[in-house]
Amino acid sequence: MIGFVCAMPMELRPLRRRLGLRRSSVGYTGRINDRAVIAVVTGIGTAAAAGATARLLGAAEVEWVIVVGITGAIENDVPIGTLVLPDRVVNGATGSAYHPRPLGVGDGHGTMWTTDELLLDPAVLADLRAQGVVSLDMETAAVAEVCDGHGVAWSVVRAISDRAGDGDVDADIVSLTRPDGTAKLSAAARYLVRHPRALPRLVRLANGSRLAAVRAADAAILAVSRVINS
């Protein structure tokens, strides 16, 4: 069985639609060709990702895990929707590095940096850039650690939804999302009352996230299909 791991429901949605996944006792299940697949939502952050991945591997015979979703770019000129398939993932809190199973759809795209912190300081971003970091996320290294501990292969397919240094994302924007990845609609409404000029920014971020989620899902499905048919 192949497992898809997403942090947020909006990242899972394209997979559910394209594969016709149905809710099960563990997550959402279906098939790609003759191979059974299962998809779960972990919630945001390393602790949530590690816990959900451990539960998935304990409940189903998963032989390969693929992290699918969105990621923030380090560079401000990276087009929204660009696929990121890193050859290395680093846990920013511990420095531990993990190496995903190649997918054969453009892998080797630098380092992905996993952190529970919102990194916006230009000096910090410049230092990460110098280390070969191309994007930021909050779950992948935690998923990798659990998979490595269970002897399960893992890969990552994410796509750029925003850029860390362009000013679109800040602490106030992040606070509009719950830990499970769903939007705080009432909080967003209050935020817009206080900051009416922020509406274009929120729309831009929402559109970028949807585009990135769709592109990541499509690439993940394509990669799995190629492996199954090879």
- Least Cα distance to 94 among 44, 50, 160, 41 occurs for 50
Domains annotated for the chain, with CATH where assigned, are 2-229 (3.40.50.1580)
Q: Band the pLDDT of 74: cuts 50, 70, 90.
A: very high
Instruction: Note the pLDDT of residue 219.
Output: 94
pTM of the predicted structure, to 2 decimals = 0.92
Residue 202 reports pLDDT greater than 90 = no
pLDDT tens profile 123-151:
999 999 999 999 999 999 999 999 999 99
With 0-12 / 13-18 / 19 or more C-beta atoms within 10 angstroms meaning exposed / middle / buried, residue 188 is middle
Distance CA 38, CA 216 (A): 16
Q: How far is CA 115 from the centre of its chain?
A: 12
Q: At what angle do helices 140-150 and 46-59 cross, to 10 degrees?
A: 30
Instruction: Note the pLDDT of residue 187.
Output: 84
Asked whether the predicted pLDDT for residue 201 surpasses 90, the reply is no
Mean pLDDT along residues 141-166: 95
Mean pLDDT, the chain, whole residue set = 91
The answer to whether 159 and 219 are in contact (CB under 8 A) is yes
Name the band, by pLDDT with cuts 50, 70 and 90, for residue 66.
very high
The Cα–Cα gap between 138 and 116 comes to: 5
- CA-based angle 167:168:171, to the nearest 5? 85
C-alpha–C-alpha distance, residues 167 and 164, integer Å: 7
Q: State residue 108's pLDDT score.
A: 62
Q: pLDDT of 203-212, one tens digit each?
A: 988 999 999 9
Which whole number is the average pLDDT over 3-17? 96
**pLDDT, position 106:** 62
Cα–Cα distances (Å) from 201 to 137, 138, 158, 196, 209, in that order, read 20, 22, 22, 10, 12
